Structure 1
Amino acid sequence: MNQLRRGGFIAFEGGDGAGKTTQLSLLESWFVERGVPYERTREPGGTPIGERIRSLVLEHGQGEVDPRTEALLFAASRAAHVVQRIRPALESGRFVLCDRYVDSSVAYQGEGRQIGTEAVADVNVFATGGLQPDLTVLLDLEPAAARARREGREGTSDRIESAEDAFHERLRAAFLARAEAEPERYLVLAADGAPEGLQKQIRARVEELLSA
Structure 2
Amino acid sequence: MAGTFITFEGGEGAGKSTQIRRLAARLEGLGLEVVTTREPGGAPGAEAIREVLLSGKAKALGPLVEATLFAAARIDHVANRIRPALDRGAVVLCDRFTDSTRVYQGDGDGVDATTVAELERIAVDGVRPDLTLVLDLPVEVALERIATRRGDEHPDRFEGEADVVHHRRREAFLSIAKAEPDRCAVIDASGDEETVANRIWETVAARLDLPTESHPAEAGHG
Task: Judge conservation of contact 1:110–1:118 (CA < 8 Å) in 2.
Answer: no
Q: CA deviation at 1:119?
A: 2.8
Structure 2 stretches lacking a partner, 5+ long = 212-222
Tell whether the 8 Å contact from 2:58 to 2:66 is kept in structure 1 after alignment. no
Distance across 1 between alignment mates of 2:147 and 2:174: 24
Task: Determine the C-alpha separation between the residues in 2 that align with 1:32 and 1:90.
Answer: 16
Contact 1:113 1:167 in 2 (8 A): no
Match of 1:169 in 2: 167
User: How many angstroms does 1:204 deviate by?
Assistant: 2.0
Q: Which residue of the partner structure matches residue 154 of structure 2?
A: 156
1:201 CA displacement: 2.1
Q: Secondary structure at the match of 1:69?
A: helix
> Is 1:47–2:43 an aligned residue pair?
yes
Give deviations 1:119-163, integer Å, cap 9, x for gaps.
Answer: 313311221123211010100112222111111113321011111
Distance 1:43 1:210, change over 3 A: farther
- 1:52-83 deviation digits (Å, cap 9, x = unpaired): 00001111456724111111100110111111
CA contact (8 A) 1:12 1:138 kept: yes
CA contact (8 A) 1:39 1:97 kept: yes
The residue type paired with residue 165 of structure 2 is: F
Give the whole-Å Cα distance in 2 for the aligned partners of 1:185 and 1:165: 28
User: Which residue of the other structure, out of 96, 99, 104, is the alignment partner of 1:103?
Assistant: 99
Match of 2:199 among 191, 198, 201: 201
Alignment correspondent of 1:142 = 138
Secondary structure of the structure 1 residue equivalent to 2:42: coil
Q: Give the superposition deviation at 1:187.
A: 1.4
Report how many aligned residue pairs link the two structures.
207
**Which of 183, 186, 195 is the aligned partner of 1:185?**
183
Counterpart of 1:64 in 2: which secondary structure?
A: helix
Q: CA deviation at 1:102?
A: 0.3
State the Cα distance separating 1:211 from its structure 2 match: 4.2
Tell me if structure 1 keeps the 8 A contact 2:59–2:66: no
Letter in 1 for 2:200: I
* Identity level (%): 43
CA distance in 2, matches of 1:167, 1:146: 13
SS in 1 for 2:84: helix
In structure 2, what is the equivalent of residue 3 of structure 1? none
Q: CA contact under 8 A between 1:74 and 1:105: conserved in structure 2?
A: yes
Gapped regions of structure 1 (runs ≥ 5): 1-5
Taking the aligned partners of 2:74 and 2:58, their CA distance within structure 1 comes to 20
The 3 A distance-change label for structure 1 pair 119 and 193 is farther
1:89 is displaced (CA, Å) by 0.5
Q: Distance in 2 between matches of 1:101 and 1:76?
A: 13
Mapped partners of 1:124, 1:17: distance in 2: 25
Give 1:13 deviation, angstroms: 0.6
Instruction: Provide runs of 4+ in structure 1 moved above 6 Å.
Output: none
Residue 174 (structure 1) shift: 1.4
3-state SS of 2:149 partner: coil
CA distances 1:142-189 after superposition (whole Å, capped 9, x unpaired):
222211111111332101111111211221121111111110111101
CA contact under 8 A between 1:57 and 1:65: conserved in structure 2? Answer: no
- How much has 1:99 moved relative to structure 2? 0.6
TM-score by length of 1: 0.91
Task: Give the TM-score normalised by the residue count of structure 2.
Answer: 0.87
